[in-house]
Structure 1
Amino acid sequence: MTQVDTAEAGQGSPADTRAAGTGAGAPTAGTGGTWRARVRRAIRNGFRPGPWKRGPVLTALALLLGLFMLLHAKIPNRTGGLGSLVETFLPWFGLFVPVLLAGALWRRSASAVAALLLPVMVWLNLFGGLLGDKSHPGSDLTVASHNVGANNPDPTGTARDLVASGADVLALEEITPQAQGAYEKELAKAYPYHTVQGTVGLWSKLPLSHTQPVDIKMDYGPLGDTKPVEIKLTYTRALRTTVTTGHGPLAVYVAHLGSVRVNPRAGFWTDSRDRGAQALGKAIAADRNERVVLLGDLNGTMDDRAFAGITSQLRSVQDAAGDGFGFSWPAKFPVARIDQILVRGVEPKSSWLLPATGSDHLPVAAGISW
């Protein structure tokens, strides 16, 4: 009787009560919490863009790096030699790629990772060919070049190290009058033929002829020169000679172009070097010999536009037959290859660095063939 009265009174069963509570004007106990959670998610998503919208600064930096390397030849040189400065250290700009990649992964930015494809492809196009070993066994002649350093404390030991290289033709740059005798004495047995013109010289196992200095128009610039006074007064820093080989005459140039300097007034000062490179390029262009080798400290890399007059005529043995970048300066931690061997009319077979001596440069060597 009590149960019937309750039903008749409209109380209903517990199930009926729950069903009735789902209607429009009767929110459940969890509705308020769900609504607040949705608001929090919306706010959170508003401040957390998707992976393709994250890291806009990293994306822009990656694209700028790629364009910077791609268009390096367009960087003006009139303002403090900026273009030449960039091209001197151009391979090192690739180090920014892993830095930006780390930032992109930390930010989980898909757009920044995708943008990094541009500098990676540009860098590989410029320098990827230097990563592998392109040398080939066998050569007809081994040539070597070394800036022995005006302040070399052990010219005798340096000469002995160079003899041990087994080079057939050996070029030396920055020879001082005080050290010249030591080099001539130690190299005489291995190299019966030699010539010294100013501060450059060539030692050879094969006969030399038609030797003459080459005027490369030296200028020591706005800050003078840090070299000893005897180096300043000796303006002959390039020579040309003919090496007699079993395959015919080989014209050999030895050059030590002007130094470059970085200072607040002049920026990256390369005037003397650039004039020397132009004069040397003209001399090589006028040379009637089919086979030409250029050895020396050119105080610049072959990526630098200043050497266009030379690289348009000669091939770099390091680019053609080297293993790696072949950085030669400074000897303790090389960052650039400024000591060069370039050729015309002969085939580069191999290119390598010789062990360090008392100089601040590393010696460079190459095998060439007819």
Structure 2
Amino acid sequence: MRTITVQLGAEEARVDVAVDGARFRRQVGYRGDGPWGLTRWTDPADGAAYVVFSGALGGAADLLGPVSGPDDLMPTALVVDGAPVAVTPPAGALLAGHHLGFAAGPWRAAAAAGVVVHARSSLDADLGDLLAETRAALDWLLDFFGGSAPWGSDYAQVLVPDAPWLAMEHPGCVLLSERVLAADPVRRMAVLAHEAAHQWLGNLVSPAAWTDVGAFEGLAELLGQLTCRGLLGHDADPYLDARRQTPPLVRLPGDDPRTLAATAGLAEVAGPAQHAELYRSVRSSLTGDVFRERVRGLLLDRGGTATSAAQIWAALGVGPQEPVRVSLPVATRAEEGAWLRQVRDLGEEDPATVALWARRAFRAAPAKGGRVADAVAALGDRSVPRAAAVGLGAELVRGARRLD
């Protein structure tokens, strides 16, 4: 049993971890950007302070120190002190470090039909549609998977401002960017269903290694798409058609970034849409009912167990498969743009944020200023942070049809 107690202070948090009689304590400063690891932010609207924690992409180190990896599964209780409202995983849940997520602060809650949405106190938004859409997605997936809900009584989601992603699937504390409220309804349903599907595939059955993340992302992606189609009918077709028309995954020069601790698990690396197409092909060959029964069998056999991508494919009755990948060329330039010099200084401490900043820097650079050549050259330059190279590679593939 692992017990994690977090005492929140104004400047830092005290973390007390007990694992089978062993105990360690540490002081952890809050990060200013994220939410990866332990992040504290103040709402400018009313001055209220909130703390959000995500263990994904190395963020678990803020609570646990160095962790062994995604297969570090054990029954875990996470207790947060010093906040009026704390949203945490169910006590005793079987969790690895990357599963850990919590949110603490003066949240206001809206609830309906077993779904709870927590929002910052100053957020002036009607949460009724979000509650109803989440409930519909959960019901569709409960029918697909069969059996009981893996999250227990209430399904809790927390709305977070300024997140670099739309959602993260932490058990008992699904984090949603506030941007989902203004998203296209079909896209919002796809995101809600994707994270809900992860409660079974990614949380209940979890990756054995970082290189297995793509297989889980692909299954959740496919189920999110199927949920959209099942609930919204043909209204979902334009979004789903566009979502499926994704370019191949990028293969960077040198090491495959999926195998590196600093970059493995990034959405651009895992390639959820590309993996989803592989599963769609298998589902078509098996028929939908057989595919569903084999996924259910996977959960019965592997629930609570670290599982490799090869074991997932075997449960579906096929050999391991990988999406098509393309190698980007290596180029050099005598002089590079100022934007790339800024990217070099990002560092590797927070790979998800580094990749996001690199993508934003690329998009903000002058379109006719040689940014494509700069980015291609950066892919083969070891002085560029690998997470930044992943972000730049994603931008190059994204714009492959309209390179400047």
Q: TM-score, normalised by structure 1?
A: 0.21
Q: TM-score, normalised by structure 2?
A: 0.19
